[in-house]
Amino acid sequence: MGRYLLKRILFFIPTLLIISLLAFIISLQAPGDPLDRMVSAQENGGEFQAQSANTQKEKDRWRKKLGLDLPVFYFSFSNAATPDTLYRIYDDNLRNASKRLINTYGNWEQISDWQKSLNILKNSLFEINALHAAAVDSSFSNADRDTIIEMDRLVSALLLAYDTRLIEIKLHQLQATCSAHNYFSPASTSLAGTLNAWNNVKSQSTPGKKYIPAIHFYGYNQYHRWIFGDGNWLTGKGAVDCKGWLRGDFGYSYETKLPVGNVLAERVRWSLFFTLISVTLAYLISLPIGIKAAAKKDSLFDRTSSVVLFVLYSMPAFWVATLLLMSFANPLAMDIFPSSGIQPVTGIPEGTSWIEAVRMRLPYLVLPTIAYTYSQLAFLSRITRVSTLEIISQDYIRTARAKGLSEGTVIYKHAFRNALLPIITVFSNIFPLAIGGSVILETIFTIPGMGQQVFHAIVSKDYPVIITVFTLTGVLTLIGYLIADILYAIADPRISYANK
């Protein structure tokens, strides 16, 4: 038994690894820049600095806090022309432009020189502007100021440009404007530097290098940080911003800017409550139905229950839930139950006894519980019936009957235990089903559980929450499997013996 369990647990490690990798890859594909979500947009007041220094500082702080200044994974597979430090370019557009230029020219050294020269040019433009702004100069008109701003925009655009023709046109424009106005003379050296750098990029190109595959390794990276935190990976000592997934730190929600763990911890209560209640109810109701139907095969009970369960099984959960609300929580039809929430809007007053509190909540719980239970119920009864039928047709049951045992003893003592096996296997499927289903049901019944949080996160594009729920559900599923395995081993001694 012990060895069997150990083997099962060991198998979970690659599964967890793959689930975490999948979650990580999905989170990388999430559109939009997380920093933009974290740093509330501030007014873009400065003419020359598109973002105010304050926003920039805040962004840098969050970048470090979220670990976005790190390489993505333990290794990157690219070509010989791409440097292993490309991840240090934080701006997505600039990084994209660099990648494209590398793809065309294959000489990162010259390309980075070109980008540096553009920044130098930008600085000298800034100085020219500052010079004229300080000295109130009648010869410097608003039109001239506009020209400088225009030039600055041009240089910024050049930084992000990667199309050769576009770059040359823009460079030409830059040159023409500079030579037309003599107040640009202080920038002439940096302009010459820029032109020179561009010529170098073109003349010293090595486009062939992109066909040579290369692999770069990184020790400390975003994935590692996400899983193990930024401290010691084993002990977690020295962690500053992130303790790591393994230690229950799931990152920050974009929406509330709070740790995801806190957001979900408040929510998980209700989901668990409904899942456990409904699973218990479903098992309690479905086992007798399934067994009875199988024991009296082709009887009236068997046929009616089969049809009813089949119908229930084919009905989508969201439809049943909507129908329930429409018929029992609708002022136009039967207004028996409240239509949303899990307690009166006014809340439960303090000092109410728990019996009173339960009584106040009960009407709110009836419809969700029915909706949660019914789909599992249909599924479980059908499986119970099929597996009991299979057992009943076996020889040892015939022997038991031939011995003259009562039908009850035959069914409940001899058949039941073996019929349980498939039902136990299903147990592991119920967790992910329940959590997946809770997204729909909690949204319909407005239950403040994890499912509703997931729906909310999807609508508001709060990716860290979605990813966390996905990985957590994966872990829960695995735990469900483990429990099922243990139960299975208990119900079927052959399993644990075979592995001894």
Partner 1 sequence: MTKEKNDKGFNFGAYAFRQFRRNKPAYISLYILGFLALMALLAPVIANERPLFISYKGHHLYPALSFKKNYILTNDDGTKETIQLDIADWKQMKADKVVWAPIPYAPEKTDMLNAGYKGPHDAQLFKNSDGQIINMPSRFRHVMGTNSLGEDVASGLIHGARVSLTIGFIAMAIASVLGLILGSMAGYFGDSRLRTSRGQFWMVVLGIIAGWFYGFQTRQFNLQDALSTGTGKLIMQLLLSISIAIAVTVIFALIGRFLGKLPFLNKQVNIPVDSIVSRTIEIFHSMPTFILILTIAAIARPSMTNVMIIIGFTSWTGIARLTRAELLRIRQLEYIQAARALGFGELKIILRHALPNGIAPALVSIAFGIASAVLIESSLSFLGIGVPSDVVTWGSLVNDGRQQYSAWWLVVFPGVAIFLTVTVYNLIGEGLRDALDPKHKK
Among 19, 70, 128, 371, binds partner 1 (CB under 8 A): 19
User: Which residue from 366, 381, 81, 387 is spatially nearest to 211, judged by alpha carbons?
Assistant: 81
Encoded one letter per residue, x for contact with partner 1 by CB under 8 A and - for no contact, window 438-477 reads -xx--xx---------xx-xx--x-x--xx-xx--xx-xx
CA distance 194 to 121: 7
Among 79, 164, 175, 499, binds partner 1 (CB under 8 A): 79
Among 62, 252, 481, 488, binds partner 1 (CB under 8 A): 481
Footprint of partner 1 on 26-65 (CB under 8 A): 26, 29-31
CA distance 100 to 86: 12
Among 389, 419, 435, 447, binds partner 1 (CB under 8 A): 435
Pick the closer one to partner 1 by CB: 167 or 457: 457
What's the distance, Cα to Cα, between the start and end of the chain in Å?
A: 7
Supply angle C-alpha 483, 487, 493, rounded to 5: 140
Question: Hey, which residues does 252 pair with through a beta bridge?
Answer: 259
Residues 6+ apart with CB under 8 A from 246: 227, 228, 229
| Residue ranges in 181-233 assigned as alpha helix (H) | 188-203, 222-228
Pick the closer one to partner 1 by CB: 123 or 429: 429
Q: Given its phi and psi angles, is residue 92 left (phi above 0), alpha (psi -120 to 50 degrees) or beta? A: alpha
Do 41 and 216 touch, CB atoms closer than 8 A? no
Number of residues located near partner 1, criterion CB under 8 A: 63
User: Which residue from 472, 439, 477, 467 is spatially nearest to 455, judged by alpha carbons?
Assistant: 439
- Rounded to the nearest whole angstrom, what is the least distance from the CB of residue 222 to partner 1 in the complex? 17
Q: Does 225 bind partner 1 (CB under 8 A)?
A: no
CA distance 108 to 205: 9
Q: Which stretch binds partner 1 (CB under 8 A): 12-20, 194-202, 261-269, 486-494?
A: 12-20
**Cα–Cα distances in Å, from 92 out to 86, 276, 358, 486?**
11, 45, 53, 49
DSSP string for 4-37 = HHHHHHHHHHHHHHHHHHHHHHHHHH-SS-HHHH
CA distance 300 to 371: 27
Pick the closer one to partner 1 by CB: 157 or 323: 323
Among 3, 6, 9, 11, binds partner 1 (CB under 8 A): 11
Q: What tokens were used for 99?
A: 């990648």
Do 371 and 441 touch, CB atoms closer than 8 A? yes
Tell me the residue type at 259.
Answer: P
- Rounded to the nearest whole angstrom, what is the least distance from the CB of residue 374 to partner 1 in the complex? 14
Pick the closer one to partner 1 by CB: 344 or 436: 436
Pick the closer one to partner 1 by CB: 184 or 372: 372
Pick the closer one to partner 1 by CB: 55 or 381: 381
Q: Does 164 bind partner 1 (CB under 8 A)?
A: no
Q: Does 437 bind partner 1 (CB under 8 A)?
A: yes
CB atoms within 10 A of CB 458: 14
CA distance 76 to 71: 9
Pick the closer one to partner 1 by CB: 51 or 322: 322
Do 201 and 110 touch, CB atoms closer than 8 A? yes
- Rounded to the nearest whole angstrom, what is the least distance from the CB of residue 381 to partner 1 in the complex? 15
User: Which residue from 425, 422, 455, 423 is spatially nearest to 437, judged by alpha carbons?
Assistant: 455
Pick the closer one to partner 1 by CB: 65 or 209: 209
Q: Which stretch binds partner 1 (CB under 8 A): 152-160, 252-260, 312-320, 406-414?
A: 312-320
Encoded one letter per residue, x for contact with partner 1 by CB under 8 A and - for no contact, window 322-351 reads xx-xx--xx-xx-----x------------
Q: Does 219 bind partner 1 (CB under 8 A)?
A: no
- Rounded to the nearest whole angstrom, what is the least distance from the CB of residue 355 to partner 1 in the complex? 32
Pick the closer one to partner 1 by CB: 208 or 349: 208
- Rounded to the nearest whole angstrom, what is the least distance from the CB of residue 465 to partner 1 in the complex? 10
3-state secondary structure of 40: coil
Q: Does 433 bind partner 1 (CB under 8 A)?
A: yes
| Interface with partner 1 (CB under 8 A) | 11, 14-15, 18-19, 22-23, 26, 29-31, 77-79, 99-100, 103, 210-211, 213, 310-311, 313-319, 322-323, 325-326, 329-330, 332-333, 339, 432-433, 435-437, 439-440, 443-444, 454-455, 457-458, 461, 463, 466-467, 469-470, 473-474, 476-478, 481
